[in-house]
Amino acid sequence: MAGTVQGMRDQGESRSTTYTTVSAGSEFRHELEIRRSRFITVLARTSSENDTRDLLAGLRKEFHDARHHCSALVLGPDRDTQRSNDDGEPSGTAGLPMLEAMVRRETAPGVSDLSDVSAVVVRYFGGVLLGAGGLIRAYSESVSTALDLAPLVRRSRLRICRVSAAHQHAGRLENDLRTAGYQLQPTTYGPLQAELVLAVPDRASAIAGAKELVLSLTAGISELHSGETSWIDQDLRRGHHD
């Protein structure tokens, strides 16, 4: 399982256990020129509408001389928060096409699950009117092209599980679990035993499989105990344990 246990954020229970988003920590930018108008798309990981407002405020300040700062957002594992704003463009020609480009985005064949993403398209008018149809295509293309190039990650709700083992067996057990595809935190060594912490997909079948594996690897001596859930980023360029 490729990913990181650092920076986990509990988003509460949801129907979805996985979704796709942009990499955290930085904005992704891409610019298109369409009939002399500049369309600068900025994508960012956001977890709330306040995050989007902060992003938009910063871009309004940075690109203070631009005519339009149109925006769209999709938030939550179930994508239950969706907003768009035309910022002075004709109604329905900017924010909504941007939103639709995000919502309809296929992150895998037949899968549209992009979320926790805000998009802002800054437009510098080039003097040529594009018309309603031209604007819709321009704003949609701007976001779609940016998403083609942006680094994406799979965000999965994983169950944090713990296994206790004798000191002399902990290293081998940790190696075997990593080989099996599980992501582990650093092992903690106590006075009597070591504790291994691993992340397992939050599904009954996956947790049962992990329990069976631990029993098999330790000849029934150690048992896996499931605990809290956390959302963890997993690199889409690599596979993950199912």
What is the pLDDT, as a whole number, of residue 191? 93
- The answer to whether the CB of 162 falls within 8 A of the CB of 195 is yes
pLDDT at residue 47 is higher than 70: yes
CATH number for the domain harbouring residue 133:
3.30.230.30
Residues 168 and 32: their CA atoms lie apart, in Å, by 59
Burial label, 57 (beta-carbon count in 10 A; 0-12, 13-18, 19+):
exposed
Residues 92 and 224: their CA atoms lie apart, in Å, by 53
Please say which residue of 150, 165, 185 terminates a domain.
150
What is the pLDDT, as a whole number, of residue 239? 41
In a domain, 240, yes or no: no
Q: Which two tokens stand for residue 123?
A: 């437009």
Range of the domain at 100: 24-150
What is the pLDDT, as a whole number, of residue 236? 64
117 and 163 co-located in one domain: no
What is the pLDDT, as a whole number, of residue 16? 84
Please say which residue of 132, 150, 168 terminates a domain.
150
- The answer to whether the CB of 147 falls within 8 A of the CB of 140 is no
Digit-coded pLDDT (tens) for 85-140:
999 999 999 999 999 999 999 999 999 999 999 999 999 999 899 999 999 999 99
In a domain, 217, yes or no: yes
79 and 182 co-located in one domain: no
Question: Which pTM was predicted?
Answer: 0.78
CATH number for the domain harbouring residue 219:
3.30.70.240
Handedness of CA 57, 63, 66, 71 (dihedral sign): negative
113 and 142 co-located in one domain: yes
In a domain, 16, yes or no: no
